[in-house]
């Protein structure tokens, strides 16, 4: 039976109705808003804005993972993340903070300061202690699919069978996580991570097939190149098209939308909820 809640440090987060995860990029070079929130004051204002817009989860990232990006050091990630987490938890103690990282050192640092969820684009591929760190910290884990590191992930993309290959990837890692005692796993199909435009749309169309794992599905397609490149527009011009695809994602089983634009994502959820009654 599919999970309908996530355990956040003893507090159950209901996911029977889809949730909105608001993106907070603490980076200089993210593809859409890199550099806008790379100091403490602007980052806090961004978090406050998203919470006022009723984001259910804040997703903080301190290292860009756009195609071609190079990792910053773990120390730099921690230095960017910790002050924001500490301040937000002081002002909004009930807020739920997800941290986008691939490294156990960062996991241990941010969880000790109040982070609630780990969002790992690597699916444990880049740090072989990641799953153990998640288990030891008793924290929910977003397991994403990617082929390799961001600097290489769009090179030589190949699948024998897109859906079966990704299902195999998930099944192996879910088994490892369960064996270590991780109880709350969320799946992210990794739109744009080692995928062609055609791969992305096939995944979106067939997203419901991943409900076979009985785990929540997070969809992160906000303003991505799968939207703006085929249409010859910019990320800044892609909000209404993001809403269009988020609606399709919800109809195809998305439980969490990871977005730059919380109000519009929440509107999509409200209308799809009405449609599904």
Return the CA Rg of the chain.
17
Give the position of tokens 């796993």.
Answer: 185
Name the 3-class secondary structure at 64.
Answer: coil
224 is catalytic: yes
Of the candidates 65, 31, 27, the one whose C-alpha atom is nearest the C-alpha of residue 150 is 65
46 is catalytic: no
Catalytic residue among 224, 229, 266, 277: 224
Pairing of strands 256-259, 97-100: unpaired
- For residue 239, give both structure tokens: 């909000």
The 10 Å Cβ neighbour count of residue 73 is 10
**Rounded to an integer, what distance in angstroms lies between the CA atom of residue 272 and that of residue 277?**
9
Show contacts of 245-253: CB within 8 Å, 24+ apart. 245/204, 245/221, 246/219, 246/221, 246/222, 247/271, 247/272, 248/204, 249/204, 249/207, 249/219, 249/221, 250/18, 251/275, 252/204, 252/205, 252/206, 252/207, 252/208, 253/207, 253/208, 253/210, 253/211, 253/217
Q: How many helices (H) and strands (E) does the chain have?
A: 9, 10
Give the position of tokens 């709350």.
Answer: 184
Residues designated catalytic: 224, 258
């Amino acid at each position: 039976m599919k999970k309908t809640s996530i355990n956040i440090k003893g507090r159950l987060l209901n996911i029977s109705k889809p949730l909105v995860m608001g993106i907070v990029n603490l980076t200089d070079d993210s593809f859409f808003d890199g550099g806008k929130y790379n100091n403490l004051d602007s980052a806090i204002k961004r978090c406050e804005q998203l919470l006022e817009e009723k984001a259910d989860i804040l997703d903080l990232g301190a290292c860009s993972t756009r195609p071609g990006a190079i990792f910053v050091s773990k120390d730099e990630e921690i230095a960017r993340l910790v002050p924001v987490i500490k301040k937000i938890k002081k002002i909004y103690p009930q807020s739920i903070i997800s941290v986008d990282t691939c490294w156990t050192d960062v996991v241990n640092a941010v969880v000790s300061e109040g982070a609630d969820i780990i969002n790992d684009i690597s699916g444990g591929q880049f740090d072989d202690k990641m799953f153990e760190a998640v288990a030891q910290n008793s924290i929910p884990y977003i397991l994403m699919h990617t082929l390799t590191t961001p600097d290489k992930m769009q090179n030589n993309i190949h699948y024998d069978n897109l859906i079966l290959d990704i299902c195999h990837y998930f099944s192996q890692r879910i088994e490892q996580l369960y064996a270590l005692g991780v109880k709350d796993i969320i799946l992210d199909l990794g739109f744009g991570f080692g995928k062609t435009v055609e791969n992305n749309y096939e995944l979106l169309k067939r997203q419901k097939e991943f409900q076979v794992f009985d785990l929540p599905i997070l969809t992160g397609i906000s303003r991505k190149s799968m939207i703006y490149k085929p249409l010859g527009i910019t990320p800044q011009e892609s909000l209404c098209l993001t809403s269009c695809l988020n609606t399709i994602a919800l109809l195809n089983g998305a439980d969490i939308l990871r977005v730059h634009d919380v109000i519009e994502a929440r509107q999509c959820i409200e209308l799809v909820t009405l449609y599904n009654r």
